[in-house]
A and B are shown apart, each in its own frame.
Chain A
């Protein structure tokens, strides 16, 4: 510690006498750039640039589908959202176990999706390269499926291997993003609506504006799914979200309302499926949520603690759809699974648990045998009156999608 060199000796023409410092100078000279070392480092720099260019530039064309190895590989991974498959008390999935026995395919059920955007971000690079994303089928929302089909990231389904496709509800057979359902098939449909803690709010909620009650300040949660949160606000402002007659003006008006509530501290959190944690912990007591989840959350907390309602001014209707990612080598296995879940009895069993709208015709008749009390449940088998209250958010153009996402996100970031 005593022999510390305080200052670097100045490089003058006369060399210092001290041998130690002399040797230091020699060392420094050796380390200085020779012409060869400059050339070498230039070479490394060029190689780095080339490597970097490879890492940013994606392949130009669309990826091609992986070869199917299903006959030799009896496994399948299914990525899905939480509260989305029937579960028994030991956390096993009865319908899935029945499928494994019947088909001999070993299924890994992966609750990997919390939000369409974050899931897409996780897998998009592999999809672009046509690689296996670790899921052979995944259930995503209409608009995201529309994007994936447009980018060529999904495999074409072989309808001859899914004979039960005949049970698909007619209203879902020809969506604008997949006419004839060649690339996707609905898993469940549902509503976005209002949820409240019945102990704290015995009177319940009727409208989106009830969430802005000063008594609920800092206790309100909304969904990170833009189409649901903004969709509900827009509908309260009198906009028909399914028509093509609205644009930037209407959207901005809804965003302004949203921003006011976030800035003012009325809205506590903007979340994906993990909003359930906030409701359970008491951080939020009122929220915009997805219909069926409420039943599952009530099951978890053991009691009828949370209520759900579609706002009087209207809710959103969406579907999550099975797709087979482009890089999956187990498409036939996935098709077998999809076919199985299109059996009316199986669909009814799932619906009885998840409380979402099943796309399978005949499930209502099957439900009468499983649990007659659920046949008139509006969350599972909505009648015309209920369906009149909900609307599907219209398809956005690329420019709108980009612009609206940025606006919605900037509110969440407080920017």
Chain B
């Protein structure tokens, strides 16, 4: 759904091929097979699992059924965590956008005169990908730990109370999410801003628009495709993220997200129907949010 919205401005084909092209079909086959095997089958399997009931005899085994009540149970039990996930994802997306936009603007527009600087800065944005994000998040846990530099400095400056701490709090989780998703926000923004025609900005200035007015009415609309894809690339994975909020990393008991709930249900409680139902709810909510978002920004504003 999101894809078609993006390609709404697709180029129009000149002629319609008369015959069905078997070559195209054959080329399409591996992709289709991949989708069926690794997307459709797991999805159907997940839906079936979510409706199962516990086996009467063996702990941790489930029998096929049509127990849709599981959905109601998990929503009432984990409603807070579901809402929290989307709140954290929203916060992380907003923060990532606020950090990335000036950066991408500088690299894509201001640094055009110095291609070497431009290249270097792009490398710096991509560089974190060279190391697994698990390791980087663990490193943040050490940096933000109670005996670490940050907390020590804040306490020395009396900006943090003697019992204050970062790790295991919502602040640390949102921080981790923002940090981990900044490159995903920055790169799409850079690609659109890099093609920004500065003559539009000059024209705007010539028409007596101030810098803020120019930015609001010219730069932002022109970079909207980058903003939309950047926010999607951040929001969707952030809502389902379970690493940052896991107690092994930056989270604690007051900051668990839906991903952690699913993990616990799958791995510890062995409550597969609940975990499957939560996964489907998560996907459904994301699908709705994203469709509304793309429809609003994609067709009404983008074109």
Residues of A within 8 A of B (CB): 1, 3-6, 20, 23-24, 26-27, 30, 44, 48-49, 51-53, 55-58, 117-118, 121-122, 124, 147, 151, 217-219, 262, 265, 267-271, 274, 281-283, 398, 401-402, 405-406, 409-415
B91: shortest Cβ distance to chain A, in Å?
A: 18
- If A26-B16, A269-B168 touch, does A48 touch B44 (CB 8 Å cutoff)? yes
Flag if B168 contacts A268 (CB, 8 Å).
yes
B76-89 contact mask (Cβ, 8 Å, vs A): 1 or 0: 01101100000000
The 9 closest A-B CB pairs, nearest first, are A282-B147, A121-B267, A281-B145, A52-B44, A52-B45, A398-B59, A117-B268, A282-B146, A414-B253
Contact B16 A27 (CB under 8 A): yes
Q: Nearest-CB distance from B157 to chain A (Å)? A: 19
B45 near A56 (CB under 8 angstroms)? Answer: yes
Interface secondary structure of A, over-half rule? helix
Task: Determine the chain A residues whose CB is within 8 A of the CB of B158 once the complex forms.
Answer: none
Minimum CB–CB distance from B222 to chain A (whole Å) comes to: 11
Is B41 a contact of A412 with CB atoms below 8 Å? no
Beta-carbon contact of A55 and B42 below 8 Å? yes
Partner of B247, one of A30, A217, A219, A271: A271
Q: Judge whether A413 and B49 touch: CB under 8 Å.
A: no
Chain B residues with CB below 8 A from A56, complex form: 45, 48-49, 52, 64
Q: Given A52-B48, A56-B49, A415-B78, check contact A281 B147 (CB 8 Å).
A: yes
B269 touches A406 (CB 8 A): yes
5 contacts between A and B (CB under 8 A): A23-B13, A52-B48, A117-B268, A121-B267, A282-B145
Known A269-B252, A271-B248; judge A49-B44 contact (CB<8 A).
yes
CA separation between A56 and B65, bound complex, in Å?
Answer: 13
The contact size tier of chain B is: 35 or more
User: By CB atoms of chain A within 10 A, which of B45, B260, B303 has the most?
Assistant: B45
Given contacts A4-B8, A20-B12, 10 further A-B contacts (CB under 8 A): A24-B12, A26-B16, A217-B163, A268-B168, A281-B141, A398-B59, A405-B270, A410-B77, A412-B264, A415-B81
Select from chain B the residue with minimum beta-carbon distance to A30.
Answer: B16
Given contact pairs A23-B13, A118-B267, A398-B59, A414 touches B145 in the complex (Cβ within 8 A):
no
Taken residue by residue from 1 to 41, chain B's Cβ proximity to chain A (1 for < 8 Å, 0 otherwise) reads as 00000001101111110000000000000000000110011
- Nearest A residue to B15 via CB reads A23
Q: Bound state CA distance, A214 and B40, in angstroms?
A: 52
Contact at B303–A270, with CB atoms within 8 Å?
no
Distance between A111 CB and nearest chain B CB, rounded to angstroms:
15
Q: Given A56-B49, A117-B268, A269-B252, are A415 and B77 also a contact pair (CB < 8 Å)?
A: yes
Residues of B within 8 A of A406 (CB): 269, 271
